Chain A
Amino acid sequence: MNTKEYISSGIIESYILGHASPEEAGILECVMKNNAEVKEAFEEAQKTLEHLATAQAVTPPSDLKAKIWNKIQQEQTVEEVTPALSTDISDVKTHREITQQVRTQTTTPWKTYAVAASALFLVSVAGNLFWMNSQSASKKEMSLLIADKKRQDQAMQKMNQKLDMFSNPDMQMVMLKGVEKHTEAKAMVFWDKKTKEVYLNAEKLPKAPAGMQYQLWAIDEGKPVDAGMYTEDKDSRIALANIPKAQAFAITLEKEGGSKVPTMENMFVMGGI
């Protein structure tokens, strides 16, 4: 898909209206950073809807502005008052504690020391227990975070590999469109013109039922040639096959492991180069 096709697919409008999926949005945001034409189309589409809003403006009632400003200020004062109160209370408390300590010290020193020492001991035991607990808790939390980070890194890496595919100038993209029975289905073949490797993006196909697998076919001079089995893990990252020559690609649903010849009635998508 070239820039023009990408723009006219309507993805930009979907994004502005808040309809794009997170993945579509992520790709568009990345493409915009690198492609001035897409960025320009994005700006234009936004401006159109902004002009619409301006052209269809309706004057609000005259007292609305004051109402809104009051509301904003009320919310702000609520926010400011709460923390101020809590600091006041803690100030009072510490002050009282200090005066109590001063008073006890002046009356019976040794008793106070004993009480203080045992209290200190208890505090230290409790403290240690608490510290040990919180340490194991934070260790647990840490390992969760690390696992989470690893997962994100992997997802990011996959995403980056897919994006590389888009920006590789040797990559020929072939759009496969749904055939009669599956009009909603679509997939994209990426064919590296240099290495002749074929990659497949088939996330838009329905999930293959258990025991079945999607098989890619290269059509060369009217004859289907096996172009590899698709798994979700390979999607847009790992080459399915090496195809030196083809005029079209198609995908059929086959039993796990694939077939020698395509089952025609199970064809999902097809597209010419």
Chain B
Amino acid sequence: MLGICFILLHLTRKINAIKTTYSEEELIVLLKEKNETGFHYLYDHYSGALYGIILRIVQSKEYTEEVIQDVFVKIWNSIHQYDVSKGRFYTWMINIARNTAIDYLKSKGFQNELKNQSLPDFVYNTAELSTVNNSSDYIGFNNVLEGLEVDKQELINLAYYQGYTQHEISEKLKIPLGTVKTKMRNALMKLKDLLKDYQ
């Protein structure tokens, strides 16, 4: 009996090693087992997206490299805390990346600097980013948000990339809190339409 189990286990391991696509559920199982194949799959499929988010938040390649290492270690170590009833796995990872990057800036005392910076220079000017880091790594540096109206861009940038709470947004843009919430929803609905072209 034990022998059979052993053989089966080996077989499934072999199959897993050959297999090249996993569903989110399968990937989570692999990660919980601390399986190296799981790590490779995780990295190959999500590092670009997470790197992009972090880079947009910390605005420096050097910082991004530091932050993304922490992010992957956090995903690896806290995979048991992921709760499928509270959201999708990819979204969970995105939020770890956002929070880690925003906390990193705070710890470096950059948060205020960022918040005081006038938005248009920093947010909409992707050309600035690509000239600062003049490397081929920036091929494919899309700014999808540019397709949105300016007020929607600003809202998403404040909430998503700069870690503003809705109260802070309400104060900054001088609009009521309830309006912030509905505007945010409208902005995301527009974004959804926009993203159809990218898939």
Taking CB atoms and an 8 Å cut-off, the chain A residues in 8-41 that contact chain B are 8-14, 16-19, 29, 33
- Measured in the bound complex, the distance between the Cα atoms of B192 and A46 in whole Å is 10
Asked if A61 and B65 sit within 8 Å, CB to CB, the answer is yes
Interface residue? B107 (CB, 8 A): no
Query: Chain B interface mostly helix, strand, loop or mixed?
Result: helix
* B198 cross-chain contacts in A, Cβ below 8 A: 51, 54-55
* A49 cross-chain contacts in B, Cβ below 8 A: 91, 94, 160, 188
Interface residue? A108 (CB, 8 A): no
Asked if A52 and B39 sit within 8 Å, CB to CB, the answer is no
Most buried by A among B50, B76, B195: B195
Map CB proximity to A onto B19-48 as digits: 1 under 8 Å, 0 otherwise.
Answer: 000000000000000101001100100011
Interface residue? A91 (CB, 8 A): no
Task: Known A19-B166, A58-B140, A60-B48; judge A68-B72 contact (CB<8 A).
Answer: yes
Asked if B52 and A14 sit within 8 Å, CB to CB, the answer is no
Chain A-chain B contacts (Cβ-Cβ < 8 Å), number: 143
Asked if B159 and A19 sit within 8 Å, CB to CB, the answer is yes
A: contact size bracket = 35 or more
Interface residue? B59 (CB, 8 A): no
Asked if A58 and B55 sit within 8 Å, CB to CB, the answer is yes
Asked if B182 and A8 sit within 8 Å, CB to CB, the answer is yes
Interface residue? A101 (CB, 8 A): no
Smallest CB gap from A58: residue in B: B52
Map CB proximity to B onto A43-67 as digits: 1 under 8 Å, 0 otherwise.
Answer: 1111111111111111111001101
Interface residue? B12 (CB, 8 A): no
Min CB–CB distance B126 → chain A (angstroms): 10
Q: A residues engaging B (CB < 8 A)?
A: 8-14, 16-19, 29, 33, 42-61, 64-65, 67-69, 71-72, 75-76, 183-184, 186
